[in-house]
Amino acid sequence: MTLPAPAPLALTMGEPAGIGAEIAAAAWRLLRATGPAFVLLDDAARIAALPGGCPVERVATPEDAARAFPQALPVLHRPLPAPAVPGRPDPANAPAVIAAIAEAVALAQAGRVAGLVTNPIQKATLYAAGFAHPGHTEYLAELAGTGRPPVMLLACPSLRVVPVTIHLPLRRAIETLTTGAIVETARITAEALRRDFGIARPRLALAGLNPHAGEDGTMGTEDAAIVAPAVAALRAEGIEARGPLPADTMFTPRARAGYDAALGMYHDQALIPIKTLDMDGGVNVTLGLSVVRTSPDHGTALDIAGTGRADPGSLVAALRLAAEIAANRARAA
């Protein structure tokens, strides 16, 4: 009996003036023999015209991708309204960028792709075209939300981190941080570690908000008043959680060995450690969605777009992790 090939992943175009097309082609070259197979939602003509050459096959459906993948990069042709010039974003192309994300989500919801991987977007360009969301995470929550807040997890082989507050100015992040938000974020994280990463009993480490986790109140009362009660509530639910921990020491190699994911109270507290450890191999995973979604942990790199210097490592890691999560979900179903 021959088992059907797993559904391919959908890869969105991202900002056309950025490095998305280049790293998509490079990722195909690296994965063509081993997979996971993916189909790119982009302008097929511009992909075929990339320097260095990349064989492209325009496929009519994502189901054709697995057959085409060993020989050519499968592309669901979605023409751009304006020419893509490396390093020069054009708001005229913003609707196509947004449409590719929405289509990839719809394909995943229909089970026609195993999940979606999103190339980086240029938020300022989307805002100029009327995009009303702070970023990918919030837009995906609107398209594929489950009634729970979306949670951003960043993963590399040596670390997984989750920011409790995401795309907020620091002052606003501190004002909005609550015990309830920490508990809900930790719950979603623990559930995902079990279902998506196959960790039977996840261990969570929660960073303190203030230096030295408040140092007994001498550097702020938020850790005792907000973070510590969240840790107590999680433990009462049977979730293995520790904290609040001083953020300046919880990311050492010895400390990282003691937990499966670390929760930072604000964006940079979580993202600086992982980007320092593995900028080229980090993966952004959105938890709390009805579909699998990952993304490279870097931006559009407009400054090097079109130069051939873009590193596809993070995209390759994102594709592999999306396939792994999809397989874990299928086994858990």
Residue numbers belonging to the annotated binding site: 136-137, 167, 212, 267, 275, 284, 293
> What are the E-state strand segments in the chain?
9-12, 38-42, 56-58, 73-77, 116-117, 151-156, 159-163, 203-207, 240-245, 261-264, 283-287, 293-296
In this structure, are residues 114 and 9 in contact, taking their beta carbons and an 8 Å threshold? yes
Q: Are 6 and 104 in contact (CB under 8 A)?
A: no
DSSP codes, 28-64 = HHHHTTT---EEEEE-HHHHHTSTT---EEE-SSGGG
In the annotated binding site for a divalent metal cation, the residues are 167, 212, 267
Instruction: Give the CA distances from residue 280 to residues 119, 121, 209, 222, 232, in Å, rounded to whole numbers and listed in that order.
Output: 14, 17, 28, 34, 36
**Hey, what's the torsion of the CAs at 259, 264, 265, 268, to 10 degrees?**
170
Nearest to 16, CA basis, from 80, 73, 77 = 80
The residues, ordered by sequence, that sit 6+ positions from 130 with a Cβ below 8 Å of its Cβ are 94
Closest CA to 162 of 139, 129, 193: 193
The residue type of 54 is C
Query: CA 293 to CA 127: how far, in whole Å?
Result: 22
Q: Do 135 and 167 contact (CB within 8 A), yes or no?
A: yes
Binding-site annotation: residue ranges for substrate: 136-137, 275, 284, 293
CA 48 to CA 54: how far, in whole Å?
6
CA distances from 315 to 31, 127, 147, 266 (A): 11, 24, 28, 25
Do the Cβ atoms of 62 and 110 come closer than 8 Å?
Answer: no
